[in-house]
Chains A and B, each alone.
Chain A
Amino acid sequence: MGMTMTQKILARHAGLNVCEEGGLIEASLDLLLGNDITTPPAIDVFEANGWEKVFDQDRIVLVPDHFAPNKDIKSAQQCKRVREFAKKQNITHYYEQGQEAMGVEHVILPDNGLVRPGDCIIGADSHTCTYGALGAFSTGVGSTDLACAMASGQTWFRVPGAIRVELKGEIRPYVSGKDVILHLIGRIGVDGALYRSLEFCGSGIRCLSMADRLTICNMAIECGAKNGIFPVDETTVEYLKARIPGYDEDTSWLTPDEDASYEQTITIDLSTLSPMVAFPHLPSNVHELGSFDTIRIDQVVIGSCTNGRLEDMQKAAAVLKGRKVADGIRAIILPGSQRVYKQCLEQGLLSIFVDAGCVVSAPTCGPCLGGHMGVLAEGERCVSTTNRNFVGRMGHKNSEVYLAGVEVAAASAVLGYIGGPDEIGR
């Protein structure tokens, strides 16, 4: 029986020639990630067991990005705990607020050249599945898993089956990776890929930028998937060469076997997709733009590990240039990293945002999970480029989050209701 991309990566990291769906394996890990929410409990476990040294200080990445810059005293204590642990363990990839390489974890790991095709990665954050965009196996775990892996360099996995997602056709203007993944989640539901891999393939991949692919894999978890993964192509290699000096790896072994087993194939014709909006309170509650009545809003958030990359900022600026945020609307833009922030500065995007009447925040996960920098009051509605719209996700339990791509979010800020760039005129 042939293997999927995911199964090939898992087999290689478990020292096996073959692994089959349902099998339980122990895999060695290339990279481990923790943030300021999930690392402190991992440190508790690590230290309570008297483990003295992490297995490899170069393979652990610690990013205090959720409630940082510290939103209150308790958050400050959590960040301090991570900082002190990183210092004690001499962690190479600890990032401090303000450093150029710092930002939202899933924006910076690929951008800092820490992710390679074929890698096996875990992170104590559910959106760790983002890195599948680069052909890595990457998945979210909890703090105890992180603690044990920091000690041993390994973790256990149940080898997943897979759903093949075949992309064909060419994506249209104002449609992006966000709309592809919202469409898919809408089709299969929030548990449609539970315990399984989403393996993307097909000629349509060519028209998807790396930012699009990162957004798509980022939200694989929102349909329950263990991971999402793209094949390596020219776009991938170009992305890696720009970030990893001398990158030149043969990744042909990653190609799925012809007789690999897929539970089903879902075909998406990209040319037929419109901008999508996920209504409260599930990411699967997806509606095409134009198919619903006027929905007035109070706030717009553009950023996050889903849509906080330079390309996202450029798209937002293209819509907002020379326009004003509608009266009574708060628009908050969070470049995903200090590097993205600087690029926005150099490319004149920050002035466009400020002139339009937007708040521009330091990189943080803050508003996405109702932490800080844009918490919603009772009854308020927000269009957000983030990844979850559960009850109470961004604030009060009677607030509402509508998930959308960057251009819809930016246009909605100008309109004061949910709409697309077509509605604000050229």
Chain B
Amino acid sequence: MTIEGRVIKYGANVDTDVIIPARYLNTSVKEELAAHCMEDLDPDFVKKVQAGDIIVAGPNFGCGSSREHAPVAIKASGIACVIAPSFARIFYRNSINTGLAILECAEAYEKIKDGDKIEVDFETGIIKDLDSGEEFKGSAFPEFISEIINADGLVGYTKKKLQQSR
């Protein structure tokens, strides 16, 4: 699958408290969460984000809390994919489980600029900056993770497993 989108760029250590502040965690309704996504880091985010946009950010994206509300809020706000040199591990798990596409790539963070149009090929992990013409290689998912994604997330995978054990 290939997607094309406009880049919204952030720095390192974007934590779950700025992705979705805890004061809004009295709900898990995804539209309500999306309305406050990135609020404490970038108050304009919800105004400027368009369906299909791609976040490119620095290392350790999603550090902090285990709140699954974070990838859910990002996805519900219309973001198609997050690219970063590294992800905090619980956020990484939560993204896979909730179907938010993520890709690890250090070079993309160094070279891609805010507002650039980029193209991402999930099969190959290739990221193309359509404005600069540069190409970067992100790391593809390990096989087991792909298996979870192909089973329609962890829920599908667990269902399959529970059926097999009965």
Q: Is the CB of A391 within 8 A of B23?
A: no
Instruction: Indicate whether A156 reaches chain B with its CB closer than 8 angstroms.
Output: yes
* Main DSSP-derived SS at the A contact region: loop
Q: Is the CB of A144 within 8 A of B21?
A: no
Instruction: Indicate whether B63 reaches chain A with its CB closer than 8 angstroms.
Output: yes
Known: A152-B161, A371-B23. A144 touches B68 (CB 8 A): yes
Which of these, B22, B25, B89, B159, contacts A224 with CB under 8 Å?
Answer: B89
Q: Which residues of B contact A354 (CB under 8 A)?
A: none
Instruction: Give A393 to B25 CA distance when docked, in angstroms.
Output: 13
Instruction: Indicate whether A75 reaches chain B with its CB closer than 8 angstroms.
Output: yes
Instruction: Indicate whether A78 reaches chain B with its CB closer than 8 angstroms.
Output: yes
Q: Is the CB of B18 within 8 A of A391?
A: yes
Q: Is the CB of B15 within 8 A of A74?
A: no
Instruction: Indicate whether A125 reaches chain B with its CB closer than 8 angstroms.
Output: yes
Q: Is the CB of B154 within 8 A of A148?
A: yes
Instruction: Give A277 to B90 CA distance when docked, in angstroms.
Output: 26
Instruction: Give A142 to B90 CA distance when docked, in angstroms.
Output: 7
Instruction: Indicate whether A97 reaches chain B with its CB closer than 8 angstroms.
Output: no
Q: Is the CB of A141 within 8 A of B90?
A: yes
Instruction: Indicate whether A40 reaches chain B with its CB closer than 8 angstroms.
Output: yes
Per-residue 0/1 for B25-61: is the Cβ within 8 Å of any A Cβ (1 yes, 0 no)? 1111000000000011100000000000000000110
Known: A143-B68, A391-B18. A194 touches B88 (CB 8 A): yes
Instruction: Indicate whether B137 reaches chain A with its CB closer than 8 angstroms.
Output: no
Q: Which of A41-49, A83-91, A287-295, A329-337 binds B?
A: A41-49
In residues 22-44 of chain A, which contact B (Cβ within 8 Å)? 24, 37-38, 40-41, 44
- B residues sitting closer than 8 Å to A (CB atoms) are 13, 15, 17-18, 21-23, 25-28, 39-41, 59-60, 63-69, 86, 88-90, 93-94, 97-98, 142, 144, 148, 153-155, 157-159, 161-162
- A residues sitting closer than 8 Å to B (CB atoms) are 24, 37-38, 40-41, 44-45, 49, 51, 66-67, 71-72, 74-75, 78, 123-126, 128, 140-145, 147-148, 151-152, 156, 158, 190-191, 194-195, 221, 224, 226, 282, 369-371, 375, 388, 390-393, 397
Instruction: List 11 A-B residue pairs with CB atoms under 8 Å apart, sorted by A's residue number.
Output: A37-B25, A38-B68, A124-B66, A141-B90, A142-B67, A142-B90, A144-B154, A371-B23, A391-B17, A391-B18, A392-B21
